[in-house]
Amino acid sequence: MSEFSQERLESRIAEIISTLIVTGQIKNHNLSTFTSVTEVRLAEDNANATVYVSSLLSDNSLEKSVKALNGAAAFIQSRISKNLRTKNTPHLVFKADRSYREAERINSIIDDVMKEIHD
């Protein structure tokens, strides 16, 4: 599969999962609707996909959401299969993406250093 096609497929999978989360189609009280898909990485053979998710809520809420998504992976895969109509649907594994929080922490440190320099 070409790189462009794989990127398009990753984007489409992220869109489908995001829609399932926001519309509440995944029935799990631990899954926050503030959870968002940040990246999908498909294996070269498209058999597996790692889905990275983040949340503006606490790390505890993010962990609960990741666990809920992994528990609902078969349901999500069936929905992806219906929407994509591809020969095979990748096996999904959800992981927490904390890069947003790390970026905020680094920006805060930079802001503190810049403030000290200007004072």
Residues 93-102: tens digit of each pLDDT: 999 998 877 7
Exposure pattern of 34-65 as b/e (b: 16+ CB <10 Å)? ebbbbebebeeebeebebbbbbeeeeebbebb
Paired tokens of 43? 């294996």
Predicted structure pTM score = 0.81
pLDDT digits (tens, 9 = 90+) for 8-45: 999 999 999 999 999 999 999 999 888 999 999 999 88
